[in-house]
Chain A
Amino acid sequence: MNLKRKVQPEIRPVVLKSIPDTELFRLKNGVPLYLIEAGSEELMRAEFIFNAGQIKENFPLVASTTNAMLLEGSLNYTAKEINNAFDFYGAFIHQFAQKDSSGITVFCLNKHLEKILELCCEILFRPIFPEDELNNLQKKRLQSYLMNKQKVQNLASDKLFESVFGYSHPYGKQVLAADFKNVTTDKLVNFHTAHYTNGELSIIVSGRIHNETKAMFEHYFGEHDFKSGIPDKIDIPINGSKNKKEFIEKKDALQAAIRIGSATINKRHHDYPGLLILDTILGGYFGSRLMKNIREEKGYTYGINSSVMSLNQSGYKVIATEVGKKHAGETLDEIYKEIRLLQTRPVELREMDVVRSYMAGEMLRMFDGPFALAESFRAVWEFGLDNKYYYNLADKIKTIQPDEIIGLAKTYYNIDDLYEIIAGSA
């Protein structure tokens, strides 16, 4: 047998071909309907996005509670009837209330689309926020809040947001247990009226699109009087905490959660693609420097990663891990050591090749199938960007040079700017 197992078969370049286009169709009232034709199954993913995130709330929890209450009773249906109908038609509904926007995403078979759109219209525009359901929901949400507060990873992440963005900024504001009982039906009705009924809606649809698809959306969502558009810019100053280091005591914790991060640029900034590549080298994939060092060489953790996230008014980066408590100190030292290395020593070509190829493969996955396509579209659309961002990123992955990475590491990973949060037992 002359099979040469030690010799690696030739690896061919991974090339992102063209990204399928999104069609913009405006409903009669101006609501933008984005259509992405994809996939071979007769199904649909429809995402209804309102400019109604936490950034718009005047009281804690109002944006998330308004969103959670959408399925708890409407003008024509009780909560039970609504939930039963979604289940009966085999639809899956995902509600979301994020920092910048809120809404729902539904997944259904095309044969039930019309019924599902009627239900979506009902829950989005005719919810009645029944008192009884609200009380019950808040009890449930308080319970899960209290449970989350027992996890070191949540204690550390929450504190990081507060430190990075400051307590008074909507991105940094913390929810307290006492806030749950202060959410009233009135506050929800007001928020809903301002940010859903009279708000700004956009719809992203992907899957198998037919001739009648647009007409159905027109029928259920084209009649109301809406504004439309991408989230507007409100500029609230970010005042991060003066304390760069915080320790949160969690008695008897076996592991310590570590979060290191700071505010940074978002997708609108021309350095962002480079920063993503830098972040991938540091902690963005299984072969990253942090994974190799802290997990695969030292065995201190099950996992460590770093990520860069975009928000409408800012962005942030965070390095996250849970480590055996006796290794917390050494893990911190190693994290800073890896950052300094990126600031001083050029990344070797071999490692550059690995990261380029890995990220090129990830880009293929980002546009694979109707669900991934819709998510990737949304991820640029909400920043007022389009597929040019992705072509630009693909190009940067191919062409970035080690000295540019050193420059980015110096600019965006200045160690004095980083917040360091640890939650665990003393």
Chain B
Amino acid sequence: MIDFKKYNLDNGLRILIHEDCSTPLVAMNIIYDVGSRDEDPEMTGMAHLFEHLMFGGSQNIPDFDTPLQMAGADNNAFTNNDITNYYLTIPANNLQIGFWLESDRMLGLSFSEEVLEIQKKIVIEEYKQRYLNQPYGDIMLLLRPLVYKVHPYLWAAIGKDISHIEKVTMTDVKDFFFSHYAPNNAILSVAGNIKNHEDVISLAKKWFGPISRREIAVRKLAMEPVQKEERITEVEKDVPSDVLVKAWHICRRTEKDFYTMDLLTDILAGGESGRLYSSLVRDKKLFSDINAYLAGELDPGLLIINGKLMDGISFQAAEEAVKEVIEDLKKIAVPDPEIEKVKNKFESSMVFSNTNVLNKAMNLCFYELLGDANEVNQEVELYNRVNPEMVMIAAKKYLQPDNCSSLHYKSKKSVK
């Protein structure tokens, strides 16, 4: 249970405050409602590049990081397809430093050409390090355009291509900032050693209050048409073993089915006792490892299975074995103890996540973005409502071959 207070500033900034005095620290989290889905298809990777620029100095403060280090703080950020999220933890007595810095970069950036050129180079090295220079690092880069044909989820947050990042200009940067970064497009949470909520609200009014609302670019995303045929693509790379990746379109994050699909995924792969591991790794020895997860998008998202084949196992055999596990979910109701198991696991992950004020701050912002921060406290109940029949119905609804895309990622050595 996360107790919190909500406060709205006149400029549209929403603020969530949670007190936890078991720590000397305060976590501050800001979500901007902008991700790679909001990018121009010819300039992908912009939201993530922009995240880097947010550390390159703001309108009145040339250096973002040094004052935080001086205050004993730690900070970072991430960008995904839906959101850009900035966070820091700071000793409670220096909280104002966080407000000072975060509000100034919401007000405006330094927009330095030099910073832009350097950060472009760094992001290109990041692209190579994380996606191109790792075995299997490009799986999601290959899978997305196979699964999505029109929705911007068809590219990853790092971008479609290095050339998109190379050609970004300062004009593009400014346009992006003023159409997405604004108090009325952000949510702030503050969690931790807060003796008095009023102090936090005063700080918020003082530092964020004077920032004017901005006109936010209207989100007009192309909706992905229903997939009507199974898609399979094959690549051959210099990797040690074959990998099978399968993805099915599922519902939006805010639909009720999401909870059912999340538990269904845990039944398939929640720990080593999950069905995929138990049957295909342990019993049949077809895979050396196999996992399933929801990609976690806000718009209709994906259930993804990713398995590494044992040497000498064909893609056909692997596909059939996965299919059998999936078909079982449609034919036989999941036994009660198995449902109880995945619910227990969910409950304990929630408790563990709540030991940390930064997690709590992030969760509050994220649920507020979904519609209502209160729902963070209703999650356990929503999961508890899922029953075996719902799992069976959801499996039949979403886990259809026509709704599935598969990537056969072949090892060069196994192709003779």
Residue in contact with A84 in the complex, picked from B22, B132, B273, CB distance below 8 Å: B273
Q: Is the CB of A151 within 8 A of B61?
A: no
Contact between chains at A302 and B240 (CB < 8 Å): no
Q: A12 with B272: in contact, given A358-B69, A361-B73 (CB under 8 Å)?
A: no
Q: Is B89 in contact with chain A by the CB < 8 A criterion?
A: yes
> B34-76 CB contact bits vs A (8 Å, 1 = yes)?
0000000000000000000000000111000111011111100
Known: A79-B282, A299-B119, A299-B125. 16 other contacts (CB 8 A): A5-B107, A6-B61, A87-B272, A136-B281, A140-B289, A143-B311, A144-B288, A147-B239, A150-B239, A285-B69, A296-B118, A323-B125, A360-B72, A362-B72, A365-B25, A371-B355
A80→B341 CA distance, assembly (Å): 14
Contact B128 A255 (CB under 8 A): yes
Chain A 1-26 per-residue mask, 1 if CB under 8 angstroms from chain B, else 0: 10101101101101001000000000
B132 touches A254 (CB 8 A): yes
**A89-147 interface with B by 8 A CB criterion:** 89-92, 107-109, 136, 139-140, 143-144, 146-147
Asked if B118 and A88 make an inter-chain contact with CB atoms under 8 angstroms apart, the answer reads: no
**Chain A residue at minimal CB-CB distance from B71:** A11
Give chain A nearest CB distance to B318 CB in angstroms: 14
Residues of B within 8 A of A107 (CB): 348, 352
The stretch of A37-45, A181-189, A340-348 in contact with B is A37-45
Cβ-defined partner of B271 (8 Å) among A87, A355, A358, A368: A87
Residue A252 CB within 8 A of the other chain: yes
Could you list 16 examples of A-B contacts with CB < 8 Å?
A: A9-B100, A41-B355, A83-B278, A90-B345, A90-B346, A92-B348, A109-B351, A136-B282, A150-B238, A150-B239, A151-B135, A287-B69, A299-B117, A301-B122, A324-B124, A324-B125
In chain B, positions 1-47 with a C-beta closer than 8 Å to chain A are: 20, 22-25
| B20→A364 contact, CB < 8 A | no
* Cβ-based interface call for B171 (8 A): no
Does the CB pair B60–A357 fall under 8 Å?
A: no
**A322→B131 CA distance, assembly (Å):** 13
Beyond A5-B59, A302-B125, whether A362 also contacts B74 by CB under 8 A is: yes
Contact indicator A9/B210 (Cβ below 8 Å): no
A286 at the binding interface (Cβ < 8 Å): yes
Is B129 interfacial (CB-CB < 8 Å)? yes
Verify A254–B128 contact, CB threshold 8 A: yes
B301 within 8 A of A: no
B397 near A: Cβ within 8 Å?
Answer: no
Chain B 272-300 against A: per-residue CB contact (8 Å), 1 yes, 0 no? 11100010011001001100000000000
Whole-angstrom distance between the Cβ of A129 and the nearest chain B Cβ: 16
Closest 4 CB pairs of A and B: A361-B72, A299-B121, A90-B348, A14-B72
Alpha-carbon gap, A321 to B124, bound state (A): 15
Interface size class of B (residues with CB under 8 A): 35 or more
Residues of A within 8 A of B73 (CB): 361
Verify B122–A299 contact, CB threshold 8 A: yes
Which residues of A are found within 8 Å of B238, using beta-carbon distances?
A: 150, 252
CA distance A255 to B61 in the complex (A): 34
Contact with A along B100-134 (1 / 0, CB 8 A): 10001001000000000111111011101110111
- Are the C-beta atoms of A14 and B107 separated by less than 8 Å? no
Q: Is B372 an interface residue, CB under 8 A from the partner? A: no
Interface residue? A379 (CB, 8 A): no
Taking the closest CB of chain B, its distance from the CB of A241, in whole angstroms, is 26
**Partner-binding segment picked from B91-99, B177-185, B219-227, B244-252:** B91-99
Specify which chain A residues have a CB less than 8 angstroms from the CB of B65 in the assembled complex: 286-287
Please report the C-alpha to C-alpha distance between residue A73 and residue B3 in the assembled complex, in whole angstroms. Answer: 43
B363 to chain A, nearest CB (A): 14
A83 touching B273 in the complex, CB below 8 Å, given contacts A5-B100, A358-B69: yes
CB distance from A6 to the nearest CB of B (A): 5
CA distance A409 to B207 in the complex (A): 43
Residues of B119-157 at the interface with A, using a CB-CB cut-off of 8 Å, are: 119-122, 124-126, 128-130, 132-136
